[in-house]
Amino acid sequence: MLRWLTAGESHGPAVLGLLEGMVAGVEMSPRTVGQALARRRSGHGRGARMGFEADQVEIIGGVWRGATTGGPIAISVANSEWPKWRQVMSPEPGPPPPGARAAKLTRPRPGHADLPGMVKYGHDDARAVLERSSARETAARVALGAVAAAFLEQALGARLVSHVVALGGVSADGPRPLPSDVAALDASRLRTLDPAADAAMAAAVDQARRDQETLGGVVEVIAYGLPAGLGSHVQADRRLDAALAGAIMSIQAIKAVEIGLGLAAAALPGSAVHDQLDRQDGRLVRRTNNAGGIEGGISNGEPVVVRAAMKPIPTVPRALATIDTATGAPAQAHHQRSDTTAVPAAAVVAEAMAALVLARAALEKFGGDHVRETRRNLAGHLAAVPETMR
């Protein structure tokens, strides 16, 4: 069973990712992980930190001479902010060091984990919460997602694509991007291939920055080339759509997830929603893919399509009303610096989470300890599907 965890704080020495249960023989290198991390840093609207954060990758274990060994994979992504925060973030006991950086944060940001985290864990300084709730943690997820994506491609021939479908109320049009569009998406400013939407979104981001605002949006992940048969209808926690929704909802600031037609399906009659079957050139085909590649919690062989809505980042430069937890008096929420939007980055993070969930489902179905064995088992499964159902 594929399992993963992350650790580390935003201004600590590093964030860490741990991936257990990956098969041996998946070609992988620090460079591949570094490339995935570079995609996450990009996007118009990020704050000052992304300009200098370099994401130094170190693979601590599980990869040897360019391939996974079957052992747990541990990846460290160093924080270039750490030297400035060494004293403030020190694990040593003792009083906080002098200086503004160590000042207690007692004016929690509405919409952030600050206040619920302080209440739950008994902290009187929001830093004890925000350092871990920070979306910096997604660097570790993307590092692990790079391994999962390499496995999916090398074992199954599956490829994932992520893009931005809306930002700050501006929606993008155009066909769903294909794996061949990934390079263009990576090079784009806002992870969309619609030039009119790109311009309008960039203008919205610039205006929001001037207005001291932050912006949310909608991202979409498409997984191409997955076989039918991942996930299961038989138990709630084995449903592929539920696992994808849970993993993507777990990304900081995500407030909604939909599969395929999603919410729009609720307003349409059944005949306009369900993907009717046909036979073309001797092959079973679906006329549409409104189900987003999943029926009954099982992949059906069509591209898997997942969309997620991200709220605006709660670190809003325009002062939001809050209370000071030290005094109980009304106050303005703390703010030092922030991204105006991180929607393009969220697309890359959603892609990483989808890769992890799909890799887990693929390993559950096909198993194996070496990628060759997984490939053989996949071939056996495909050969066992009756002609009339292919």
Which chain residues interact with ligand EPS by CB under 6 A? 10, 47, 49-50, 53, 81, 134-136, 139, 315, 337-339
Q: State in angstroms the smallest separation of the CB of 268 from ligand EPS.
A: 37
Name the residue nearer to ligand EPS (CB basis): 134 or 340.
134
Q: Nearest approach, Cβ of 94 to ligand EPS (angstroms)? A: 24
Residue closest to 42 by CA, chosen among 344, 309, 341: 344
Beta strand pairing call for 56-61 and 254-259: unpaired
**Packing angle between helix 371-384 and helix 343-366, nearest 10 degrees?**
70
Residues 36, 350 contacting (CB under 8 angstroms): no
Closer to ligand EPS at the Cβ: 38 or 256? 38
Q: Is 63 exposed, middle or buried (0-12, 13-18, 19+ CB in 10 A)?
A: buried
Nearer to ligand EPS, 134 or 162 (CB): 134
| CB of 339 vs ligand EPS, minimal distance in Å | 6
**Please, which residue, 42 or 232, has the CB nearer to ligand EPS?**
42
Q: Which residues pair with 306 in a beta bridge?
A: 221, 259
Q: How many CB atoms lie within 10 A of CB 250?
A: 11
Task: Report the residue number, 129 or 226, with the smaller CB distance to ligand EPS.
Answer: 129
| Min separation Cβ 167 and ligand EPS, Å | 17
* Nearest residue to 101 (alpha-carbon basis) of 114, 90, 110, 91: 90
SS3 category, 286 = strand
For residue 126, the minimal CB distance to ligand EPS (Å) is: 11
